[in-house]
Structure 1
Amino acid sequence: MARPPLDVGTHGAIRFVKLASGYRAKARYRGYDGVTRDLSRTGPSKAKAERVLKLAIAQALQTPSGGDITARSRFVEVADRWLAWQERRVADGERAPGTLDNYRSMLANHVLPAFGELRMHEMTVPRLDRFFPALQAKSSAAHARTARAVVSGILRYAARHGAITANPIREIEPIEGSGRKRVRSLTAEERRAWLAQLELDPQASRKDLPDLTRFMLATGVRIGEALALYWEDVDLDKATVLINWTVVRVRGQGLKRTDPKTATSERALPLPSWAVEMLRQRRKTAVAENRPADSPVFPDTLGGLRDPSNTRRALREARGSEGFAWVTSHVFRKTAATIMDEAGLSARLIADQLGHSRPSITQDAYMGRGAVSSAAAAALEDIL
């Protein structure tokens, strides 16, 4: 029976030959190309010869690219390199800081505890195929899909550096879930009841939730975009606002205004008259409090940027456990979109209003972007 081959990336038993001036250590190793080779090194003693030989084998097993990521590298080491690359992408404006924080959280809480100490060549399809269903059962399909995206990114990074020949994530079955929840929108009656509930809640009023709700209903903007709005972005005479920023919490830096989610998220939005009047009253208050133009329209208690996460929590507290328990900040955005759709606006105009990605490749190729119709403001005129 033929002798079974060595595993890829390993070496066989080390043999020694006595020399006049010391020892020669010899062994066979199998490279990542599958070829088995002989290697030997000498030293004044067996121990020295063995150490030199093992170092030579390790060097021979380096990837052809000459990089320091190999099939023997630990997953956590490659993950650190991948995160550093993502940090550079954030600095270059190619990734949002919030996305990087999500990556870090997913790695720390789920991925590294499962794979951190494994070598790259040990990241096999069966091992990965067991992990994601288990994570889905423990948390959710959305969590499992995020983990899959992070692991795939790291393994793709490793493949580009020659540590593995292919990304095993490609062989994993897609993560199926129960589907996205159908997002409800507020009816006219519900809009009035919601605002009345907020107005009667001292805590909600103190946290500016009624006017923030009105602004999000009037524009369909994301909550981070609403909280990033400065007075210098508001033109009350032209009844428009510029949405060029979003608020995120950056690790080690606190709250910052950063570029919005996508390039199409930067837009100028017309306002319905009732929203202009609401902002006009807020502007009078801001001037009376000596707040400058480069200050938030919806500030925190100290006049600075508000944390979107804290604001979402305030909304959860204000909605109660019955009646409006289903309401989130995204519902205001969905409500604005629903109203515009019912008013007969095209998918193009609604996508431009909301700062969504392109409705279709055909529209993107043959129709311009960036000009939002005043019909959006007209459709939202009477919603309250």
Structure 2
Amino acid sequence: MARKPLPLGHWGKFRTYPYHTNEKGKVDTYRSLTNFRDFDGRTRQVGAYGSTKTAAENNLLEKVTERRDAGGGSKLTGADKFAKAADLWLRKFRQMVKDEKRSPGSLDTYRRHLDRTVLPALGDVRLGEMTTPLIDKVVGAIRDEVGQSTARSCRSIISGVLGLAVRYGAIRTNPVRDVERIEGQAKRRPRALTEAERNGWFALIRSDDQAVRAELPDLTTFMLATGVRIGESLGLLWSQVDLDTGEIEITHQIIRVSSDGLIRIRTKSRAGERVLLAPSWCLSMLRTRAAAGMRLDQPVFADTRGGFRDPSNVSRDLRKARAPIGGKARQELSAALKKARREADLTQPEVTRRLKWKGSRISLIERARLKVSQADAVSLLDLYKVRGQARTELLRLAADAVDGGEADAFSWLTSHVFRKTTATMLDDAGQSARQIADQLGHARPSMTQDVYMGRKAKNPGAATALEGAFSDD
């Protein structure tokens, strides 16, 4: 039976023997040989020398390794750790960002997930040890401990790193392929602001001094008039606005990258680069802003120094505006909960971490800007170890403050709701899905229909078309 050939780029057993002796008859040179299968499929003998047997073998190992890499072989082997492959993958991703093939925001997100979650779990595991059961266990733990969204991102990162290892020949197949997919919750139906809700929202933010200082009335007007993303709104320059024709050129967006701060980059896709025509009520607002003083190279919605605004700060302003100070009962409850937290010697971040809440939630509760359910109140009192009469009094306050009011009317609203509202208004006006997708900067109209249109009947003309198909009988 014929001997199985060496794999491409691999070598066989080292054979080492004395090659030269000195005048005293002592060996001073050794030669080490091996068979190496080159990338043309032919097996050749490769040798190296050294003053000792070990030196000769080390020199030969270095030589065949260089030959493998130079011949198109792998920069990775199965013996390399996952962390090495991840570093190489991240360098390649960074180059794609420089080539404008990937977003700096994606790089920032992946690097953060790698450092905080993936590498602590898999960094020291060798590529040859990566198996589907191992990765499935790690991704499942991330899902249970951190959340579904982070687990999906980490699964993609691990798949990308191991895909690179496959291309470099370090492993034969990508074990992530058979890892159980993380099924997210069913998407909520698109919800848009009704006419009454739009009027109520504007009445709310125009009467809120903080919202007015944050320019939320103008920003909301612009986003409803154009359907642009919040980052695109903040990346718009006055040079891209024609106040005579009403044309607005959308080409860039503002994002925050941890290593670089605020940066202005191209829109998410080529479809995002578009020219929009502003309605008269939006153009009137823009002309009023321009009359107050502007420079062509400045953002339309600038910060106090004339620079770009941070989308995260604007989102924070939006959260504050949608949750105005609650009634008397809620204010008393927030003050009592804040006092109880301090007596328990806990900080807001500590409470957030222990209860696995969103970062701003406890802050909003302690400023009477968020309704506290009975379950949340019990969780907080358990954490603060409040007992006896004090606990009974706080639970009574929570019951009194639980009724909804002005502070809860827009608790569901985010900046993305404005895009969905624009899409729904255009849909109601008879615009086609393709036209609405072009307005929003979507490449696929199906995305616009499924995610952004808050409509009820998918085909309102169907009943009319089918009316005469059957007789009354």
What is the TM-score normalised by the length of structure 2? 0.65
CA distance in 1, matches of 2:103, 2:47: 51
* 1:286-305 correspondence to structure 2 within 5 Å: 287=293, 291-305=294-308
**What is the deviation of 1:249?**
2.2
User: Is residue 261 from structure 1 mapped to residue 261 from structure 2 by the alignment?
Assistant: no
Q: Aligned residue for 1:137?
A: 144
Q: How far does the alpha carbon of each residue in 1:316-363 deviate from its partner, in whole angstroms, 9 at most, with x for none? A: 1221132211111111111111111222211101100100122269xx
Q: Using a 3 Å threshold, how does the CA distance of structure 1 residues 243 and 62 change in structure 2: closer, same or farther? A: closer
**Letter of the aligned partner of 2:313 in structure 1?**
N
Aligned position for 1:36: none
Looking at structure 2, the residues matched to 61 and 132 of structure 1 have their Cα atoms a distance apart, in angstroms, of 34
Question: Which residue of structure 1 aligns with residue 320 of structure 2?
Answer: 317
Q: Specify which of 179, 198, 201 is matched with residue 194 of structure 1.
A: 201
Q: Kindly provide the CA deviation profile for residues 69-120 of structure 1, in whole angstroms up to 9, marking residues without a partner as x.
A: 2222221122111111111111111111111111111111111111112221
Give the counterpart letter for 2:430 in structure 1: G
1:24 offset after TM fit, Å?
8.2
Aligned equivalent of 1:215? 222
AA at the equivalent of 2:301? F
Which of 212, 216, 226 does residue 205 from structure 1 map onto?
212
Partner of 2:286: 279
RMSD of aligned Cα (Å): 3.3
Q: Kindly tell me: are residues 86 and 276 of structure 1, through their superposed partners in 2, closer, same or farther at Cα, counting changes over 3 Å?
A: same
Matched, 1:338 2:424: yes
* Structure 1: gaps spanning 5 or more residues: 1-10, 32-38, 362-384
Say which one has the larger Rg. 2
| Matched residues, number | 344
What secondary structure sits across from 1:235 in the alignment?
coil
Could you say what secondary structure the match of 1:164 adopts? Answer: coil
Distance in 2, matches of 1:94 and 1:60, equals 32
**Residues in 1 aligned to 2:51 and 2:98: alpha-carbon distance in whole angstroms:** 52
AA matched with 1:225: E
Residues 164-203 of structure 1 mapped to structure 2, 5 A cutoff:
164-203=171-210
CA distance in 1, matches of 2:290, 2:88: 47
Shift of 1:140: 2.1
Distance in structure 2 (CA, Å) of the matches to 1:306 and 1:147: 30
1:155 equivalent in alignment to 2:126:
no
Structure 1's consecutive aligned runs of 4 or more residues displaced over 4 angstroms after TM superposition are 13-20, 22-26, 39-64
> Do 2:68 and 2:74's aligned partners in 1 also have CA atoms closer than 8 Å?
no
- Asked if 1:109 is matched to 2:116, the reply is yes
- Gap runs ≥5 in structure 2: 1-10, 20-25, 38-45, 324-369, 371-407, 448-473
**In structure 1, distance between residues paired with 2:99 and 2:59:** 43
1:50 Cα deviation after fit: 7.0
**Percentage identity across paired residues of the two chains:** 45
Aligned position for 1:380 = none
TM-score (norm 1): 0.79
Q: Deviation string for 1:148-201 (max 9, x for gaps)?
A: 111111111222222222222112222112133334211111111111111111
Distance 1:213 1:97 in 2: 27
- Write the distance in 2 (CA, Å) between the matches of 1:43 and 1:78: 32
> What does residue 82 of structure 1 align with?
89
